[in-house]
Amino acid sequence: MSAAANNPVSEEAQEDRIYLKSADEVAVMRRAGHLLGRIIREVLENVDEGVTTIELDKLAYRRIREAGAIPGFLGLYNFPNTLCISVNEQVVHGIPDKRRLKSGDIVSIDCGLILDGFFADHAWTVGVGKLDPEAERLLQVGEEALFRGIDAARYAGRVGDIGRAIEEHVTRAGFSVVEEYTGHGIGRRCHEDPKVYNTGTRRGKRMGQGLTLAIEPMVNIGSGRTKELADGWTVVTADGSLSAHFEHTVAIGQEGTEILTSAEDH
């Protein structure tokens, strides 16, 4: 989810408001991220034929509350739910409802939560039952694109390196990157500066110690163009082709870049 569309100030002005986190703050974000990683993993394990997307949403809400955290998307810009669930040609910001998942669907689960005042943001896309080979390949390329982006997110590098790496990988695979939505800085607010573009046309600021970013490529089989549905939220591919979305929250450090939203123990 990007605040880009809501923000009227110029790109340069926005980049003056980057918040680098202390080691203690990163430690809080690590706990938030790890909690979210485990919750998303459980939700993904429950993605199955016949399951409704609202059931998945309720599971995530329950798990977040049980852990003493706060659902980060619920009410954010008035979003109505805990999860954004985007199926097939839906790119991002899909609203959970009574839709029953069926074999061949691909399902993106995107979630933010707040723990001790800090956000974590994480998304993953999986298939239901038997997928077309092209859909399988989309999931693979989308996941690889995320890790190319994370690999390019290095101390003293440029934020623009991330989009360059993502775009290069996706284009080489014959798919398209969605340009209208971006990753973002993250911390006490879900969407902080800088924007993290998924294409490589900008250099961007240097990445410093304690910069925390949500890196989140959205990859389409067809054109990268999108449109928004009348519900004011759901973003779909303009040509109806399948779309996949993968996101991790990471922390940049001199010693390396850490994935904060891992489900695995640190």
Binding site residues, Mg ion, CB under 5 A: 110, 121, 123, 214, 247
Minimum CB distance to Mg ion, residue 12 (Å): 22
Give 1 or 135: the residue with its C-beta nearer to Mg ion: 1
Q: Report in angstroms how near the CB of residue 42 gets to Mg ion at its nearest.
A: 17
Return d(Cα 242, Cα 223) in angstroms, integer.
10
Closer to Mg ion by Cβ: residue 131 or 214: 214
Residue 4 to residue 131: CA distance in whole angstroms: 33
Q: Minimum distance from CB of 50 to Mg ion (Å)?
A: 26
CB of 117 to Mg ion, least distance (A): 18
Residue placing its CB nearer to Mg ion in the complex, 121 or 258: 121
Nearer to Mg ion, 188 or 239 (CB): 188
Name the residue nearer to Mg ion (CB basis): 84 or 207: 84
Distance in Å, CB of 214 to Mg ion, minimum: 4
In angstroms, the CA 33 to CA 250 distance is 9
Q: Are 187 and 212 in contact (CB under 8 A)?
A: yes
Nearest in space to 187 (alpha carbons), one of 242, 115, 239: 115
Residue type, 148: R
Q: Answer left, alpha or beta for residue 94, where phi above 0 means left and psi between -120 and 50 means alpha.
A: beta
> Would you say 147 and 140 are in contact if contact means Cβ atoms under 8 Å apart?
no
Q: How far apart are CA 131 and CA 127, in angstroms?
A: 7
Neighbours of 132 (CB within 10 A): 13
3-class SS of residue 78: helix
Peptide bond between residue 194 and the one before it cis (omega within 30 degrees of 0): yes
Measured from the Cβ of residue 76, the count of other Cβ atoms closer than 10 Å reads 16
Nearer to Mg ion, 77 or 104 (CB): 77
Looking at the Cβ atoms of 123 and 244, the one nearer to Mg ion is 123
User: Closest separation between CB of residue 119 and Mg ion, Å?
Assistant: 9
Query: From the CB of 96, what's the least distance to Mg ion, in Å?
Result: 14
Q: Residue 260: which residues within 8 A CB-CB, separation 6 or more?
A: 26, 29, 30, 32, 33, 34, 120, 212, 248, 249, 250, 251
Instruction: Say which residue the tokens 């408001």 belong to.
Output: 17
